Amino acid sequence: EAGVAQSPRYKIIEKRQSVAFWCNPISGHATLYWYQQILGQGPKLLIQFQNNGVVDDSQLPKDRFSAERLKGVDSTLKIQPAKLEDSAVYLCSSGDPFTDTQYFGPGTRLTVL
């Protein structure tokens, strides 16, 4: 069974630039999560989708971050404009609907200079 796919794996941008991350969840998983993980901290949930609807985005900085999951499958997370403090690993996971367990992709390591 294929796992969660994410791209790119690494991205370096300058502050005020835009960046987008892509995630393709495990087939059949209706729930998709985006997390931000800063070094030394646990993953912080940015947004949670159930199919193509948003379950929670209370911790998403909506002035600069946006996410979509138009067809209820893959998803894109965008940052525009980026700030230095956005440097982090962005993790995507998909959820088993019967057990609430999550399976993570390899993440995208973002560096903002």
Partner 1 sequence: RKEVEQDPGPFNVPEGATVAFNCTYSNSASQSFFWYRQDCRKEPKLLMSVYSSGNEDGRFTAQLNRASQYISLLIRDSKLSDSATYLCVVPRAGGSYIPTFGRGTSLIVHP
Cα–Cα dist 29/80, whole Å: 28
Residue type, 56: D
CA 23/CA 94 separation, integer angstroms: 9
User: 18 or 59: whose CB is closer to partner 1?
Assistant: 59
* Residue 9 touches partner 1, criterion: CB under 8 A: no
In angstroms, give the least distance from the CB of 81 to partner 1: 27
Nearer Cβ to partner 1 (17/30)? 30
Which positions from 20 through 49 interact with partner 1, judged by CB under 8 A? 33, 35, 40-45, 48
User: Which residues, 6 or more positions from 70, have their beta carbon under 8 angstroms from its beta carbon?
Assistant: 52
- What is the DSSP pairing of strand 102-104 with strand 108-112? unpaired
Per CB under 8 A, residues contacting partner 1 are 33, 35, 40-45, 48, 50, 55-56, 91, 93, 99-107
